[in-house]
Amino acid sequence: MFRNYISVALRNILKHKLYSAINIIGLAVGLAACVMIMLFVRDELSYDKHWANSDRIYRLNTTFNPPGREPFVTTMAQGPTKHALKNFFPEDIEDVTRFNTMRVVLRKDSDVFSEILMWTDSETKDIFDFDVVAGDLHATLRDNASLAINETFAKKYYGENNPIGEVLTVNVHDLERDYRIGAVFKDLPHNTVLEFQGMAMIDEKDFENQVWEFTQWFSVNNFVYFTVKDGSSIEAINQRLNDFADAHIEISAATSNGEEAKASDFVKYSTQALTDVQLHPAAPSGGELKPIGSMTNVLIFTAIAGLILLIACINFMNLATAKSTQRAREVALRKVLGASRGQLIGQFLGESVLLACIGLVFGTVLVELLLPTFSSFVGKDLTFNYLDGLTLLILLGLVTVVGIVGGVYPALVLSSFRPAYVLKANKSAESSGSAALRNTLVIVQFAISIALIVSTGVVYGQKFYATNLDPGFNKENLLVVRNTSRTGASDKRNTFKEEILRLPGVVSAAFSSDAPSSGNESNNSVTIPGDDSGRSMLIGIHRIDYEFLDAYEIPLLAGRNFSRDHPTDMIPDPSQAEEGEILHSSVIVNEGALRRFGFGTPEQAVGRVIQVGLGSGVQAQLSIIGVIPDTKFQSLRSVMRPEMYTLSPFGFNNLNVRYQGNPAELASKMEQVWKSLIPTVPFAYDFVDEEMAEEFEAEENQSVLLGIFSSLAVVIACLGLYGLASFTAERRTKEIGIRKVMGASVFDIVRLLLWQFSKPVLIANLIAWPLAAWGMLTWLENFPYRIDEWVLVPLCVVAGLIALAIAWATVGGNAARVARSNPIDALRYE
């Protein structure tokens, strides 16, 4: 009997080639999408679970709540928290370590290179079990002149030779030292949020002149990880984090009611499990060691894979019920010969599972063909392991679920036919319930397709809007030269700038402490002289030179720019001042700072004075000489902050160059000038527009993937619609012949059939539009700068028109072919 079922199933597949092909193609595409997304999701969920202590490792995140500003959330913490955590939670915390990323200049023999290395504490070896292939990692991280490197780094600089004991000269900040290679560890796996190629021990004495790195409580530059002791819980630590902040951070500001403020009012700590970092971003502007994912994306793409497969199953169900009349006599004869309804249900479910298996075979072929491209696109090394037990179990589950979901209703319908009625009528009339179900399923298919089209449009629109948002300065034809504050470059940077200005095509050049989209968040506490409340405000700060506003083409709203004709514009060197001394200088502020200060209009603010601390007990009173518009200099994912710009001779990390002409030729000439003047420091530069666009690379990829999956959903839905249209035309052949004899034109017939399939699509629009709008409005809330809500209206209309046009194109061919047929042939039908 089982063999008979198989042979009948194969005979039906071969007999009805069109319907079988539609089902197999739809299932193959749906299953392939499911498998690839399954691999992607499994990889995302596997992050950092390979560490031996992964269930006990946590990270300390920091949120600043400055009055009058949006909270600033960062994935980092202050340098002193390393020692403070261990002392404040001795019974709960086992080990604490810091990771501090620094771009360094390496010198090997006569060659120089620019690399990124990680400064960390010796406890790192106890928290993370690195796979060491050579040397002693524990001893290396206890020596401030040793370096641990990964295999890629070792091969890059030493080839196949043993690097242990070799020496590299490292230049970072004002530290220049020979480091001996003490250990080599295997490259970190891709499924970890950590990323570095080399580690050096943190010796705080090496960075005494860079107090912000490890010793200041208001500077966050370190990723701080710790392990919880066995028997302790993270909840116990979380409950005391406010007490921890109050015990270690001094706040001099007063609250609005005159009471002394607590540190925890302004600085909030939170903990995050290491295994949660990849899919639960703590900071909206990023700040991780490398791009991470999000649980939202995982859920979105999982849902999309399920929806694509559901559309394929709907095709299966629709075509099976539509063709059920052609198998009515077979069912009736089987029942007459003694077949039970249960046997018939088993037969038809078996056929659907067989069809699903065939679809899986073709789907697997698609996976093999498309997985390398998909892996490259999502930035992962995904592999499809056929011998993996979980993978096989998931594939078996997919086939079973698809077979049952796609075949259960047709099986129930077919097995319910009454033999006497079918054999008496010589055919079976289709029930109204089956027709209504098919219409409902077509509506579901196109509702899903339309919602995906709308979602794709919104994601792409948001990406386009964000990357083309006016940042308040001209980001085109602007490049930033890095490393100008390095030892070996800082004493020659002014000469370098003069030489760059002589190059043809260079319009202007200016130094600055920061560059757009760098992710840096430099702030300074500001008070207003004469304010009896004693309140202080956290204001972003940029150190710039005279030509900065010209280079970025930032207009002045009031006042003037810094000028060499006004010597007091330059902030005096605080190291030359005595403790308690108040220096005087000038400052330019943006509109956001004016609102924060309460200084009124830009014209009214010119001449007002603010006071800032310069360190070592030295204060400076700065007179506002100019006001500029708000500029989105920081990440476009963050709310624009109040900022001030000072003229300072130190901390110039970048040279900003505005140019005309061919950028590649200019960069080549600039590199030649750099190497002739500064041979000991590598030349590095970035284009501002490209750096700002990279912030939304994830949305770019997301919009492309959504577009691909939406197209797949539409194609599968249209395959099913084509099959249904073909079946409908076949069933109504005699009706169409009679209509033509009665005088109906080809256009009338085509319009009749098109309207039959247009109604489900129009109803699908009414369902899809509100659901898609609600989902995308929720998604857009993640962005401080986003497209207007009204944009969803034309997007929904366009998506609906696209779906309707595709439906017409799909159905129109069949309709026109049948409408043009000879009525005599049609009346002979049946």
Read off the pLDDT of residues 513-538 as tens digits, 9 standing for 90 and up: 888 876 666 777 788 887 766 677 77
Q: What number is the average pLDDT over the span 18-26?
A: 78
User: Can you tell me the distance from the alpha carbon of 810 to that of 722, in angstroms, rounded to the nearest whole number?
Assistant: 6
Q: pLDDT digits over 385-444, tens only?
A: 777 777 788 788 878 887 787 677 667 766 666 665 555 554 444 555 566 777 787 888
Residue 128: predicted pLDDT:
95
Token couple for 760: 């489900």
Residue 428: predicted pLDDT:
44
Assigned domain for 158 exists: yes
Residue 231: count other Cβ atoms within 10 Å of its Cβ.
7
* Helical packing angle, 81-88 and 241-248, nearest 10°: 120
The residue ranking higher by pLDDT, 653 or 94, is: 94
430, 451, 473 - which closes a domain:
430
Same domain, 525 and 544: yes
Please report, rounded to a whole number, the percentage of residues in the chain having pLDDT higher than 90.
27
Assigned domain for 809 exists: no
Q: How confident is the model at residue 819 (pLDDT cuts 50, 70, 90)?
A: low
Of 268-272, 358-362, 392-396, 576-580, the range with the lowest mean pLDDT is: 576-580
Q: Is the pLDDT of residue 607 over 70?
A: yes
Q: pLDDT digits over 675-701, tens only?
A: 899 888 888 888 888 887 777 676 677
Same domain, 78 and 178: yes
Residue 255: predicted pLDDT:
40
Same domain, 150 and 62: yes
List the one residue out of 666, 663, 684, 686 whose CA is nearest residue 675.
684
Q: What number is the average pLDDT over the span 99-113?
A: 88
Same domain, 400 and 546: no
Same domain, 249 and 224: yes
Domain hosting 604: range is: 506-659
Q: How confident is the model at residue 339 (pLDDT cuts 50, 70, 90)?
A: low
Q: What number is the average pLDDT over the span 438-461?
A: 84
Q: Which long-range contacts (CB under 8 A, 24 or more apart) does 153-160 make?
A: 153/115, 153/197, 153/198, 154/181, 154/184, 157/108
Residue 395: predicted pLDDT:
80
Residue 293: predicted pLDDT:
82
CB 17 within 8 Å of CB 366: no
- Range among 221-230, 261-270, 362-371, 582-591 rated most confident: 221-230
- Bin 682: left if φ > 0, else alpha if -120 < ψ < 50, else beta: beta
Rounded to two decimals, the pTM is 0.79
User: Can you tell me the distance from the alpha carbon of 294 to that of 193, in angstroms, rounded to the nearest whole number?
Assistant: 12
Q: How confident is the model at residue 739 (pLDDT cuts 50, 70, 90)?
A: confident
Q: What number is the average pLDDT over the span 342-364?
A: 80
Q: Is the pLDDT of residue 82 over 90?
A: yes
Same domain, 115 and 136: yes
Q: What number is the average pLDDT over the span 553-558?
A: 91
Residue 732: predicted pLDDT:
64
The residue ranking higher by pLDDT, 470 or 79, is: 79
Assigned domain for 16 exists: yes
Q: What is the CA radius of gyration of the chain?
A: 34
List the one residue out of 584, 511, 564 whose CA is nearest residue 542.
511
CA 509 to chain centroid: 34
β-pairing, 609-615 vs 175-185, is: unpaired
User: Could you tell me how many helices (H) and strands (E) the chain has, helices first?
Assistant: 27, 23
Of 17-21, 555-559, 686-690, the range with the lowest mean pLDDT is: 17-21
Assigned domain for 452 exists: no
Q: Which residues of 467-481 are buried (b: 16+ CB within 10 A; e: fewer)?
A: beeebbbebebbbbb
Assigned domain for 828 exists: no
Assigned domain for 499 exists: no
Q: pLDDT digits over 317-335, tens only?
A: 777 666 665 666 666 666 6
Residue 257: predicted pLDDT:
39
- Range among 29-33, 63-67, 129-133, 371-375 rated most confident: 129-133
Q: How confident is the model at residue 829 (pLDDT cuts 50, 70, 90)?
A: very low
Same domain, 299 and 238: no
Same domain, 396 and 515: no
Query: Three-state SS for 360?
Result: helix
Computed over every residue of the chain, the mean pLDDT equals: 82
| H helix or E strand, kind and range, residue 198 | strand 198-201
The residue ranking higher by pLDDT, 538 or 234, is: 234
Residue 140: predicted pLDDT:
95
Helix ranges (H only) for 16-74 are 17-45
Q: How confident is the model at residue 720 (pLDDT cuts 50, 70, 90)?
A: confident
Residue 778: predicted pLDDT:
86
CB 200 within 8 Å of CB 119: yes
Of 192-201, 566-575, 576-585, 786-795, the range with the lowest mean pLDDT is: 576-585
Q: What number is the average pLDDT over the span 252-270?
A: 68
Q: What number is the average pLDDT over the span 72-93?
A: 92
Assigned domain for 770 exists: no
Q: Which residues of 707-729 are buried (b: 16+ CB within 10 A; e: fewer)?
A: bbbbebbbbbbbbbbbbbbbbbb
Q: Is the pLDDT of residue 638 over 90?
A: no
Q: Is the pLDDT of residue 555 over 80?
A: yes
Q: How far is CA 111 from CA 118, 483, 671, in A?
A: 21, 16, 16
Assigned domain for 480 exists: no
Number of domains into which the chain is organized:
3
Same domain, 401 and 535: no
Query: Three-state SS for 479?
Result: strand
Q: What number is the average pLDDT over the span 213-225?
A: 89
659, 691, 712 - which closes a domain:
659
Same domain, 260 and 328: no
406, 430, 454 - which closes a domain:
430
Residue where the block lists tokens 């409908």: 728
Same domain, 586 and 517: yes
- Range among 55-64, 282-291, 570-579, 719-728 rated most confident: 55-64
Of 214-223, 353-362, 728-737, 753-762, the range with the lowest mean pLDDT is: 728-737
Q: What number is the average pLDDT over the span 331-348?
A: 69
List all residues 6 or more positions away from 19 whose beta carbon is below 8 Å from its beta carbon: 319, 323, 723, 727
Residue 692: predicted pLDDT:
79
Q: What number is the average pLDDT over the span 338-349?
A: 71
Q: How confident is the model at residue 66 (pLDDT cuts 50, 70, 90)?
A: confident
Residue 711: predicted pLDDT:
79
- Range among 19-33, 225-239, 449-463, 515-529 rated most confident: 225-239
Q: Is the pLDDT of residue 484 over 50?
A: yes
The residue ranking higher by pLDDT, 745 or 277, is: 277
Residue 415: predicted pLDDT:
65
Same domain, 66 and 38: no
